[in-house]
Amino acid sequence: MAAPTEIAGRYRLERRLGAGGMSTVFQGTDRVLERPVAIKLLAEHLADDEAFVARFRREALAAARLQHPNIVQVFDSGRDPDSGRHYIVMEYVDGPSCADLLREQGTLDIDQALAIVRDACHGLDYAHQAGVVHRDVKPGNLLIARETGAAKLADFGIAKAAEQTRITQAGSVLGTAAYLSPEQARGEEAGPASDIYSLGVCAYQFLTGKLPHEYRSLTELALKQQNDQVEPIRDFRPEVPAALDDAIRVALRRDPAARYETALEMARAVEAGARGESTEATRLLAGAGAWGDDATQALDPTRVAPAAPYEPEPVTPPVAPQQRPERARATAGRQLARAALLLAAIVAIAAVVLVATSGGGGVQTPDEQTVHDQVDALKQLVRDHTRP
């Protein structure tokens, strides 16, 4: 069915700005207040999911309460009586998304990347203080206002509303797999630390033009997320200050407790890092030596943590020796690690398949492998990692 030309007898739809699996966004005009707006029409098939619609309405109300210069303002939402389409009316941001900038430029200038990350941190901190978690921070949801240069976070609430819908019950995950935090990939509830991780992925990509884990297949992505270290930014951009490299990679720690406590703390850390300085939080969280597992050991306040390879935390927490014999502890750890690895592989495949079919921007999708090929590869992965 074609999109309506007017919604709620008030909002005129003028041109399409973008589309995905869940919605289509139009530039339009509020004829009552005579101002430009962005109008998001939810996909027609979602109107039949009563649970989704109820969650969508609750989350739209929560998002509408967020009024901050670094958050796209939600003005209105509802259901158009004529077309039956559910809609959200938002502030229109005249400018590109960060996904557009990455496609055009490859990488961003250090100052430009710093300004975007700082603005996003302030927007996230305000939302977190209000009890709202974004859950889908990615370059496509970071918009740059052409007039002021400010970065604004868009699409608060959509990810939360989609949780446990028929889409996710079918085994899919909302969002771009590469930007999901490890806890989200495990199916756990997303919190403020999850948004910090996702923004850390964006910051890493802004400066390097690469994701922390590059991949050519879905199985490869799942394995790298579990096992590989995040390479220092300075390996790709030597001009990036070591302290800034450290500050961004702290946000990418696998354990949520080992990341910044707040988004504002992250903002302060990246600003200091750009000056070649480190904050107390960065020194504390970077840990001793070459990014070891100790995420809480304090360092000498005069010492900046080195930009050495990031050592990911173990998949399973260590168990004290007195709790079980060494052999039993090692066996249990291997079993849990295998389970976590397989779960991550399954979720990563579902996530990237959904994004690849939804037409989202700025996504790195598997090349020249069909979904059938990936399923076969996953089956082999299961067999390889479940042998005694």
> Where is the domain boundary, 91, 126, 149?
91
pTM above threshold 0.85: no
Contact 359, 19 (CB under 8 A): yes
Residues annotated as catalytic (active site), given as ranges: 136
R_g of the chain, CA atoms, integer Å: 22
Question: Which of 114-128, 239-253, 341-355 has the least mean pLDDT?
Answer: 341-355
Q: Within a domain: residue 209? A: yes
**How much is the pLDDT for 156?**
81
**How much is the pLDDT for 217?**
64
Residue 358 belongs to domain with CATH number? 1.10.510.10
Q: Within a domain: residue 370? A: yes
Strand partners, 300: none
**How much is the pLDDT for 301?**
36
Give tens-digit pLDDT for 303-350. Answer: 333 333 434 444 334 334 344 344 344 444 445 555 555 555 555 555
**How much is the pLDDT for 306?**
38
Closest CA to 362 of 134, 49, 90, 20: 20
Same domain assignment for residues 44 and 124: no
**How much is the pLDDT for 261?**
96
Residues 6+ apart with CB under 8 A from 211: 178, 201, 204, 205, 364
Same domain assignment for residues 80 and 132: no
The pairing of beta strand 142-144 with beta strand 74-79: unpaired
Q: Within a domain: residue 314? A: yes
**How much is the pLDDT for 177?**
80
Q: Within a domain: residue 1? A: no
Contact 20, 140 (CB under 8 A): no
Q: Within a domain: residue 205? A: yes
> Where is the domain boundary, 91, 119, 151?
91
How many domains are there within the chain?
2
Which position has the higher pLDDT, 97 or 218? 97
In whole angstroms, what is the distance from residue 303 CA to residue 127 CA?
Answer: 33
**How much is the pLDDT for 275?**
96
Contact 36, 27 (CB under 8 A): yes
Same domain assignment for residues 58 and 197: no
C-beta neighbour count of 118 within 10 angstroms = 18
Alpha helices by DSSP H, listed for the chain, are: 50-64, 98-105, 110-129, 158-162, 166-169, 182-185, 192-208, 218-227, 242-250, 263-274, 280-286, 326-358, 371-385
Which position has the higher pLDDT, 351 or 140? 140
Secondary structure class of 263 (helix, strand, coil)? helix
In whole angstroms, what is the distance from residue 190 CA to residue 185 CA?
Answer: 10
Same domain assignment for residues 68 and 101: no
Same domain assignment for residues 294 and 243: yes
Half-sphere exposure of 22 (CA within 13 A, CB side): 24
Task: Find the domain containing 41 and state its range.
Answer: 6-91
Residue 51 belongs to domain with CATH number? 3.30.200.20
With tokens 């976590």, the residue in question is: 340
> Where is the domain boundary, 57, 91, 125?
91
Half-sphere exposure of 336 (CA within 13 A, CB side): 12
Same domain assignment for residues 164 and 242: yes
Q: Which of 48-62, 81-95, 156-170, 331-345 has the highest mean pLDDT?
A: 81-95
In whole angstroms, what is the distance from residue 126 CA to residue 153 CA?
Answer: 11
Closest CA to 221 of 185, 184, 174, 172: 185
Same domain assignment for residues 141 and 74: no
In the predicted structure, residue 236 carries a pLDDT above the cut 50? yes
In the predicted model, what is the mean pLDDT of residues 99-118? 97
In the predicted structure, residue 374 carries a pLDDT above the cut 80? no
**How much is the pLDDT for 46?**
76
Residues 6+ apart with CB under 8 A from 385: 338, 341, 342
In whole angstroms, what is the distance from residue 118 CA to residue 108 CA?
Answer: 14
Same domain assignment for residues 298 and 216: yes
pLDDT band, residue 287 (cuts 50/70/90): low
Question: Which of 128-132, 242-246, 256-260, 382-386 has the least mean pLDDT?
Answer: 382-386
With tokens 């992505």, the residue in question is: 221
Same domain assignment for residues 114 and 261: yes
Q: Within a domain: residue 132? A: yes
In whole angstroms, what is the distance from residue 348 CA to residue 223 CA?
Answer: 10
Q: Within a domain: residue 276? A: yes
Q: What percent of the chain has pLDDT over 70?
A: 67
**How much is the pLDDT for 316?**
39
Q: Phi and psi dihedrals of 38, rounded to 5?
A: -110, 135
Give tens-digit pLDDT for 12-30. Answer: 999 999 887 677 899 999 9
Same domain assignment for residues 228 and 303: yes
Find how far residue 22's CA is from the centre of its chain. 17
Please give the mean pLDDT across all residues of the chain. Answer: 77
Q: Within a domain: residue 165? A: yes
Same domain assignment for residues 43 and 163: no
Token reading at 147 = 């007039």
Same domain assignment for residues 47 and 145: no
Sign of the torsion formed by the C-alpha atoms of 287, 288, 292 and 297: negative
DSSP 96: -
